[in-house]
Amino acid sequence: MNRREFLKGVGLTGVAAGVGALQMSETGAALAAPLSQLAAPEEPPAPPLARANTFSICAVDPKTGEAGVAVASKCLSVGALVCYAEPGVGAIATQATVNPRYGPDGLALLRKGIPAEEVVRRLTEQDAIATPDEDRYVKQYAGEDLTEEGTDFFRDRAGKRLVWLTSRMRQLGVVDREGRAATHNGARIVPWSGSITGPGLSCQGNMLAGEKVVADMAATFQASRSAGRPLVAALLAALEAGEAAGGDKRGKQAAAMLVVRDRGHWTGSDRWCDVRVDDHAEAVTELARILKKVGFVK
């Protein structure tokens, strides 16, 4: 079934159907799942959506299976929102207006050996939410800059619902077990936003001082690894470089590091290095102090 037939089949009419059939190329099959499967709250709107305007780096060592994510932001407890990794599987950062399912669902796909680019495609194309066709939901999603009917959302007139293409407010970075990297930068995330990928790494950010933040992160990480530095040290160096380049244009507040290796922790856990600074005036500096104190960075 092509997009025009699909839109007609779910009762999208008028402007939404005409524009939607022409403008859905960016999100591809975002409405591929039946509308009946899309979440549609019946009572009050969901709580405010979690936002992680931030800069991060995902990295994987294909030789050892070690994987990690490092992040910093003017966002309280950013590490609790962004970081996902599994040894021998890959690393994921979900940010901007966070979709918390990107982490576990993405790792499940990576576990099957699906390449990073395909994982990003599947996660974002399935990212749509249906709500009742009411002003309160229009206002809620207007706060995420989803305002253009036919581009950001569609009307299912038969079901009296709004279908929001929520991938447009997401940012995502994925690195798979082979070191292949891919990203998604939604059209509605806050500038400056963008990403850089390379062998074994993905750097991404939104609401940043500029492109130099992710460029310096990637270059510093690659130089650190080329010099033989371990993954934790290289990730920290990348965070420090991103902050030195301006980082989050609002300022500083939180930082985190997650590095996993097979049974790396003395308890048998894979979470070898899991350190978060949730609220600190110099979060990256504090993260570095802790990592050095406990011996992760020499």
Buried b / exposed e over 70-95, threshold 16 CB at 10 Å, is: bbbbbbebbbebbbbbbbbbbbbbbb
| 58 in Cβ contact with 201 (< 8 Å) | yes
Please state, for a pLDDT cut of 70, what percent of the chain lies above it.
84
Q: What is the mean pLDDT of residues 237-245?
A: 98
> Measured between alpha carbons, how far is 194 from 134 in angstroms, rounded to an integer?
33
The residues, any chain, with a CB within 8 Å of residue 60's CB and separated by 6 or more, are: 66, 67, 68, 90, 91, 175, 176, 177, 179, 200, 201
pLDDT confidence of residue 86: 98
pLDDT confidence of residue 39: 54
Cis peptide before 164, with omega less than 30 degrees from 0? no
| 262 in Cβ contact with 87 (< 8 Å) | yes
Residue 20's pLDDT band, with cuts at 50, 70 and 90, is very low
Selected residue with higher pLDDT from 22 and 150: 150
Pairing of strands 201-205, 170-176: unpaired
Residue 38's pLDDT band, with cuts at 50, 70 and 90, is low
pLDDT confidence of residue 48: 58
Q: Which fold has domain 51-103+168-293?
A: Glutamine Phosphoribosylpyrophosphate, subunit 1, domain 1 (3.60.20)
199-217 per-position pLDDT tens digit: 999 999 999 999 999 999 9
Residue 18's pLDDT band, with cuts at 50, 70 and 90, is very low
190-201 per-position pLDDT tens digit: 999 999 999 999
112-142 per-position pLDDT tens digit: 999 999 999 999 999 999 999 999 999 999 9
pLDDT confidence of residue 276: 97
Is the pLDDT reported for residue 36 higher than 90? no
Is the pLDDT reported for residue 296 higher than 60? yes
Q: Which residue is listed with tokens 């005409």?
A: 18
> Measured between alpha carbons, how far is 149 from 66 in angstroms, rounded to an integer?
44
Report domain extents, the chain.
Answer: 51-103+168-293
248-278 per-position pLDDT tens digit: 999 999 999 999 999 878 788 899 999 999 9
Q: What is the mean pLDDT of residues 149-170?
A: 94
